[in-house]
Structures are given as C-alpha cells and as structure tokens.
C-alpha cells in the first residue's frame, strides 16, 4: 500500500471523529443559544447576567426591552456566525470521512469559513462602538457604570481574525488550483485510455 | 468524427471474429471495440502495423476520410 493511500485512510479515520465532535459542538451551541435567550427573556427569574464585551447587563438592566432587544440581537448575530461556522466544519469533516478530500464542496466550505472569520473580526470591532452608540440613545439604565470606559468604546482586538480569515481564503484558492490540476490530469488519463 | 473506421468491413472479408483479431493483434476486445465504433482518439503505429499484418491489408483499407460537407449531403440524400 503506498504512502498516499495510507495518508488518505488516516485522514478518513480522523475525520469520522472530527464530524462527531463537530456535531456535538453544534448541539452544545444550540443548547447554549436557547439557554442564553431564556436568560435574557426571563432574566429576573433566573437571576442571570450577560456580558457583551466590556458591558455587563445585570438582571435589573435586562428588565428594559431596549436592553433585551439589543442583547437578543447580539446573540442572534453571534449565532448567525457561529452556527454556520460549526456546520461548515462538520460538512468538511463529513466529506473527508467519505474520502472526498480534494473536491469542489470543500473548496467552497473553506472559503466560506474564511469569510465567516473575517465577519467575526468585523463584528468584534463594530460591537463596542454600536453598543455605546445605541445606549447613548436609549439610556444606560441599570448597566454597570464602572464597566463603561473610553477603552470599552474604542476596544480593538487586533487583526488576527482578518489574518486567519485571509489565510483560509488563500488556502481555498490553492486547493481550487490543485483540484483543477487533478481534473486536467484525469482528463488526460481518460484521453490516453482512448489511444489504441 | 471525420475519420471513418472500416475494421468491421475487413473483419467480414477475412471471415474473422473480433475476439480473434484482438488476440492476434495483442489488444483487448474492449479496446478493439472502441476503435471499431469510432470512439478512439488516436491509434499507435505499432497497433496499425499489427492490424494490417493480421488482416493482410493496407492502412487505407481500414480508415477513410469523410468531410463534414460530404457526410451532410449523404444524410440529406
């Protein structure tokens, strides 16, 4: 058995576990999402606190519908990025487990992962600014005053998400070229088979 | 394709079967069938040489060129 076949088999075996772990993570994320929504909507009863960046929303602060709707919107945005990310990862592992390593769906999934990471980076930058602007309009109510600082308004978490996202997109391009080369080689082999 | 393969004509003249020809030429019956039905992309000179030797013919007896205009007129007629 040659080295390539061994490597492919190892990837397939590991990807089965990767798919199972990703499925478990998706289930955890859905459960966490439901719990977070419950905490926000029924906060007084559950006595929960929600922290978004530098802002801490206590049960008292979450009484206000302005705060509740903002927190729910933020949770929805994070879910809109996080759940597709986990699902795409699971899809990639599922393809790898079937032995489909270099294939068009994987190229698309990896590119989409890169775009989601970049979107997450943009959200990290915009969230504190948007949160400050929103609460300047609706009023801070019971939000912990000590948490609201100038640093909180202008917090910047670095360019790592953009770098990682760009790297994923670059990887997808390289994979797409490799896939094209393999398809060309398959076509040439097919042509060669028709030479009698 | 513009090249018409007449291997089956020569097979009939020599009263030979496809499998026998394939065995004597040294190619598989499947490959010979690909050639006979005109699906082959190319033929090696070595294969052509053996075909002519076994069928006792010239390369021109096995292949003919039919231009698109001629084949279109024949179809219309």
Q: Is residue A187 part of a domain?
A: no
Nearest-Cα distance to chain A for B76, in Å, is 31
Q: Which of residues 10-49 of B touch A (CB under 8 A)?
A: 27, 31-32, 34-35, 39-44, 47
Nearest Cα to Cα of residue A68 among A76, A179, B61:
A76
- Which residue's entry shows tokens 């050639």? B35
Q: pLDDT tens for residues A42-73?
A: 765 666 677 776 777 777 777 778 888 888 99
pLDDT band at B33 (very low <50, low <70, confident <90, very high): very high
Q: Is residue A96 part of a domain?
A: yes
Q: In this predicted structure, what is the pLDDT of residue B71?
A: 55
Nearest Cα to Cα of residue B59 among B12, B3, B1:
B3
Q: Is residue A141 part of a domain?
A: yes
Mean model confidence pLDDT for chain A: 85
Exposed, middle or buried by CB within 10 Å (0-12, 13-18, 19+), for A130? middle
Q: In this predicted structure, what is the pLDDT of residue A59?
A: 75
Residue A51 belongs to what domain range? 3-100+120-158
Yes or no, beta carbons of B47 and A191 under 8 Å apart: no
Nearest-Cα distance to chain A for B35, in Å, is 7
Write the residue in B31, B35, B41 that is nearest to A191 by C-beta. B41
Q: Is residue A191 part of a domain?
A: no
Mean pLDDT, rounded, for A17-44: 89
pLDDT band at A94 (very low <50, low <70, confident <90, very high): very high
Q: In this predicted structure, what is the pLDDT of residue A146?
A: 47
Q: pLDDT tens for residues A98-146?
A: 999 889 999 999 999 999 999 999 998 888 888 888 888 877 666 655 4
Using a CB-CB cut-off of 8 Å, the residues of chain A touching B41 are 191, 194-195
Q: Is residue A21 part of a domain?
A: yes
Mean pLDDT, rounded, for B58-69: 88
CB pairs under 8 A between A and B: 21
Nearest Cα to Cα of residue A95 among A83, A108, A77, A78:
A108
Q: Rounded to the nearest 5°, which phi and psi values hold at A48? A: -90, 165
- Considering only residues B62 and B76, tell me which one the structure prediction assigns the higher pLDDT: B62
Yes or no, beta carbons of A196 and B31 under 8 Å apart: yes
Q: Measuring CA to CA, how many Å separate A108 from each of A22, A30, A100, A173?
A: 18, 24, 13, 10
Q: Is residue A70 part of a domain?
A: yes
> B52 CB near a chain A CB, below 8 Å?
no
- Considering only residues A62 and B14, tell me which one the structure prediction assigns the higher pLDDT: B14
Q: Is residue A174 part of a domain?
A: no
Total domains present in chain A: 1
pLDDT at A152 over 50: no
Task: Lowest mean pLDDT of A47-51, A84-88, B1-5, name the range.
Answer: A47-51
Nearest-Cα distance to chain A for B45, in Å, is 10
Interface mutation target, options B41, B45, B46, B49, chain A, most CBs of A under 10 Å: B41
Nearest Cα to Cα of residue A79 among A40, A134, A135, A44:
A40
Nearest-Cα distance to chain B for A187, in Å, is 13
Q: In this predicted structure, what is the pLDDT of residue A125?
A: 86
ipTM for the assembly = 0.75
Q: Is residue A111 part of a domain?
A: no
């Amino acid at each position: 058995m040659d080295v390539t076949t061994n490597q492919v088999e190892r990837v397939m075996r590991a990807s089965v576990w990767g798919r199972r772990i990703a499925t478990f993570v998706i289930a955890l994320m859905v459960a966490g999402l439901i719990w977070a929504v419950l905490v926000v909507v029924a906060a007084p009863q559950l006595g929960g606190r929600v922290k978004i960046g530098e802002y801490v929303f206590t049960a008292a602060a979450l009484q206000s519908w302005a705060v509740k709707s903002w927190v729910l919107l933020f949770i929805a945005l994070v879910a809109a990025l996080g759940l597709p990310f986990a699902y795409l990862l699971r899809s990639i592992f599922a393809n790898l487990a079937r032995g489909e390593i270099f294939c068009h769906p994987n190229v698309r999934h990896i590119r989409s992962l890169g775009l989601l990471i970049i979107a997450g980076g943009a959200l990290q930058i915009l969230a504190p600014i948007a949160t400050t602007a929103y609460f300047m309009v609706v009023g801070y109510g019971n939000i912990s005053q000590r948490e609201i600082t100038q640093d909180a308004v202008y917090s910047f978490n670095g360019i790592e998400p953009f770098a990682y996202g760009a790297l994923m997109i670059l990887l997808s391009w390289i994979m797409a070229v490799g896939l094209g080369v393999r398809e060309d080689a398959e076509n040439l082999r097919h042509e060669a088979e028709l030479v009698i | 394709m513009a090249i018409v393969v007449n291997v089956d004509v020569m097979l009939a003249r020599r009263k030979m079967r496809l499998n026998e020809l394939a065995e004597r030429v040294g190619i598989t019956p499947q490959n010979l069938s690909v050639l006979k039905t005109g699906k082959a992309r190319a033929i090696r000179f070595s294969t052509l040489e053996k075909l002519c030797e076994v069928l006792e013919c010239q390369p021109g007896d096995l292949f003919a060129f039919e231009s698109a205009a001629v084949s279109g007129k024949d179809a219309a007629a």
